[in-house]
Structure 1
Amino acid sequence: MKTRQIGPFEVSAISLGCMNLSHAYGTPPSAEQGERVLLAALDAGVTMFDTAALYGFGANETLVGRVLKKHRNQFTLASKGGMAGVQFDDGIKRVIDGRPETIRKNCEDSLRRLQTEVIDLYYLHRWDKKVPIEDSVGAMSDLVRAGKVQALGLSEVSAATLRKAHAVHPISAVQTEYSLWTRNPEIAVLDACKELGTAFVAFSPVARGFLCDALQDVSTLDAKDIRRSMPRFAPDAYAANLKLLAPYKALAQEAGCTPAQLALAWLLHKAPHIVPIPGTTSVDHLHEDLAAADVKLSPELIAKVEDLINQQTVTGHRYSAQSASEVDTETF
């Protein structure tokens, strides 16, 4: 497996996002299947696993900790705090809370679930706009000094917020959605990362299944699938977006790879500081994704695919108004 750099860590050029083993896309796979995927990734050369306190309200960290603790010295462990499940009278709800005391508690809880003494890369999952970013990152830097965390990251932030945070403590990674159909990082934050020596970790690199040709009918989505609240997956918008798939699949064929591999290879070709973290519940799809690291794309084919799928040709916003209000990323 080819590698890329995130702060002090050399990680597999394509690493694993663990979220959908426990969260977000309807009924998750069994714990046994999750274990199979995690161990297959390790065996295939994946050396960074990305989880969060939020995913499955702790269940994903618990799974990752149980399955991978015997192999802890073989990979970089990334997790996130500042957004987690909180128990209310009417059930567990997602809460964004970037106060220093909450970040400290989130980290302690994550260390326990992950069964480790240190988290290699610890992100602020969302910037809590009620708390200055300098205060949240200051609390995270205390975790570094305490030896509980090795490097810091931010998720879904703008270039301006990254610069403010970086002035408090070096930011090793910014994690944001980035794919052919979500090009927002190209506005400013991708260049800011390059300037500051910050890696850019691309989540949802295959557009939540769209770019793998994995979803033809949105009416089949589970009632709890987060895509049901995303404007691009609304029936009319998705029908329009599906018209892009046939020419996209033709370009994948021209490149000699699968649609998913084309999406991942495109990201790897964009810049050397980008690390995609696709997620999957299938060992076969895992191996397909990882093989994208060896796909070579010509400048001509890259131009064709970028002209086909971009912010002008995709129908619908990436987030609902509520979700958009919770992030700090630049928008077109």
Structure 2
Amino acid sequence: MDRRSILKTAGLALAGSALLPFASFANSGREDIILEEYNQIPLTAPGKRKLGKLEVSSIGIGVQNMSRNYQTTIPSRPEMHRIIRSAYDNGVTFFDAAEAYGPLEVEKILGEGVQSFRDKITIATKFGWNIDQETGKRLPGLNSQPEHIKMVVEGMLKRLRTDRIDLLYQHRVDPQVPIEDVVGVIQDLIKEGKVLHYGLCEPGHQTVRRAHAIHPVTAIQNEYSLLWRGPEKVILPLCEELGIGFVPWSPLGVGFLTGAIDSNTRFAPGDIRGIESRFSPENLPANMALVELIQKWSIAKKAAPAQISLAWLLAQKPWIVPIPGTTQMAHMLENTGASQIKFTANEWQEFNKDLNAIKIAGERLPAGVLAFSDVEAPEKKK
């Protein structure tokens, strides 16, 4: 069942209106119908993949919006716990958070949700933004000073109710701190057993090489999807060369690739998609060609658009592990099932031929946010 088509008929993408919160649909009672359909289908666990030497489920779950979703509504905390537990029951063992989500609150939600099976999963979280560790207040810029990193990790361990972080990312490269200093403090944390593996998010490629030369990088996390394929130019070849895993964030194009957005969609105040030019009223109609391609294959493969989008990512490389985020049980179940969708060689060739003919109009993020990506850390003074 393509429940995202049902979402449209339920009024989630009304012409000329703001994109309504998914919660409004969930409360309509029709989500129970979808879940009943899913419960009649034997679910197969997504299987395992390797990020460097770290084994995780081939599809993870991003918990970023479990404290506040794109529409700025506050999800039910018990329901977020239920989704987290159900994800684990359905074979998901890779959970992605960050101190910046909330801030601080999402790590608490994840720690509460996984407490009963903590030792059977992989928790990833991130430091690097300048956040007051007592109040959660966002301060200007970034902060990867070694002493600050140590303080942040102590807070993470408490919020996550754990004694170690399986995968710790630098959320953005700090242009004021040499990567050698950052990796040095991470090495200390690894020796103490508080961190097991580390990674970098949206880094400059030379910074990756410098970091990896000191201590192996386990994973790079960048935006990557059918909607944004930038990492294919430099980062993915670099990961393959160095044996680094790759974790795409926003693998469903912040909802665009699921069919929940159409050319008439307008976004509510506070929704970041409203200030991304790829979703502007001028660019959306042209970009719908990508959605139409996905819908074509959704019908052909008898799968949901989200499953086609995730299956395409999984087919790129065996060391790519997408982390779709959700605050809806049906979405989580659907996303987890994407690992069962396979392309034949001919289908793969046909899909990519049509995909390469589509040009996406607009930028993926506002300029002020993009400025934090692809940054090189300063050289360490000798």
The residue matched to 1:4 in structure 2 has which SS?
strand
Which structure is higher in strand share?
1
- Superimposed CA distance per residue, residues 199-241 of structure 1 (whole angstroms, 9 cap, x where no aligned partner): 1011111111111001226754331222122221222112321
Aligned to 2:351: 305
Matching of residue 321 in structure 1 with residue 372 in structure 2:
no
For 1:138, the equivalent position in structure 2 comes to 184
Superposed CA deviations along residues 248-274 of structure 1, whole A, max 9, x for unmatched, are: 201221233211101110111110110
Is 1:207 the counterpart of 2:256? The answer is no
Report the counterpart of residue 14 of structure 1 in structure 2: 59
Contact 1:155 1:176 in 2 (8 A): yes
Number of the residue aligned with 1:173: 219
Instruction: State the distance in 2 between where 1:135 and 1:77 align.
Output: 24
Q: CA deviation at 1:278?
A: 0.5
Return closer, same or farther for 1:18/1:295 CA change in 2, 3 Å cut-off: same
Q: Which moved more, 1:127-136 or 1:42-51?
A: 127-136
- Tell me, in whole angstroms, the C-alpha distance in 2 between the residues paired with 1:212 and 1:289: 10
Question: In the alignment, is the contact (CA less than 8 A) between 2:82 and 2:113 conserved in 1?
Answer: no
Higher RCO structure (Cα 8 Å, ≥6 apart): 2
Question: In the alignment, what sits opposite 1:187?
Answer: 233
Match of 2:320 among 274, 284, 307: 274
Q: Paired residue for 1:254?
A: 300
Residue 133 of structure 1 and its aligned partner are, at CA, apart by 1.6
What's the TM-score once normalised by structure 2's chain length? Answer: 0.81
Contact 1:85/1:92 (<8 A) preserved: yes
1:163-188 Cα shifts (integer Å, max 9, x gaps): 11101111011111111111111111
Whether 2:5 is the aligned partner of 1:5: answer no
Superposed displacement of residue 29, structure 1: 1.1
Change (3 A) 1:94 1:113: farther
Task: Read off the aligned partner of 2:50 and give its amino acid letter.
Answer: Q
Secondary structure (helix, strand or coil) at the match of 2:102 reads helix
**Residue 209 of structure 2 corresponds to residue 163 of structure 1:** yes
Q: Tell me by how many angstroms 1:63 deviates.
A: 0.4
**Residue type of the partner of 2:159?**
R
Cα gap change, 1:31 to 1:253, in 2 (>3 Å):
same
Matches within 5 A, 1:36-75: 36-75=82-121
Partner SS for 1:65: helix
Give the aligned partner of residue 105 of structure 1: 151
Match of 1:228 among 274, 277, 298: 274
Q: Matched residue of 2:307: which SS?
A: helix
Matched residue SS, 2:209: helix
Alignment-mate amino acid for residue 112 of structure 1: K
State TM-score, norm by structure 1: 0.93
Q: Which has the larger radius of gyration?
A: 2
In the alignment, residue 89 of structure 2 is paired with which amino acid? D
SS in 1 for 2:131: strand
SS at match of 1:315: coil
Amino acid at match of 1:305: F
State how far apart, in whole Å, the 2-side matches of 1:268 and 1:253 are. 19
Q: How has the CA–CA distance of structure 1 residues 311 and 99 changed in structure 2, closer, same or farther, with 3 Å as cutoff? A: farther
- Distance verdict in 2 for CA 1:195–1:180, change over 3 Å: same
**More displaced 10-residue stretch of structure 1: 6-15 or 255-264:** 6-15
User: 2:67 is aligned with what amino acid?
Assistant: S
SS of structure 1 residue aligned to 2:221: strand
Name 2:167's counterpart in structure 1. 121
Unmatched runs of 5 consecutive residues or more in structure 2: 1-44, 377-382
Secondary structure of the residue that 1:201 maps to in structure 2?
strand
Cα distance 1:108–1:218, how it changes in 2: closer, same or farther (>3 A)? farther
- Other structure's SS at 1:63 match: helix
Instruction: Report sequence identity in percent.
Output: 39
> Does 2:284 correspond to 1:238?
yes
1:218–1:234: 8 Å Cα contact kept in structure 2? no
Please give the secondary structure, in 2, of the residue aligned with 1:236: coil
Aligned to 1:80: 126
Residue range with higher mean Cα deviation, 283-292 or 138-147? 138-147
1:53 touches 1:84 (CA, 8 Å); kept in 2?
no
Partner residue in 1 for 2:242: 196
- Give the RMSD, CA atoms, in angstroms: 2.2
What is the alpha-carbon distance in structure 2 between the residues aligned to residue 118 and residue 28 of structure 1? 28
Q: Which structure 1 segments of 5+ residues have no match?
A: none
Is contact 2:130–2:141 with CA below 8 Å preserved after alignment? yes
Residue-pair matches, total? 329
CA–CA distance in 2 between the matches of 1:7 and 1:23? 32
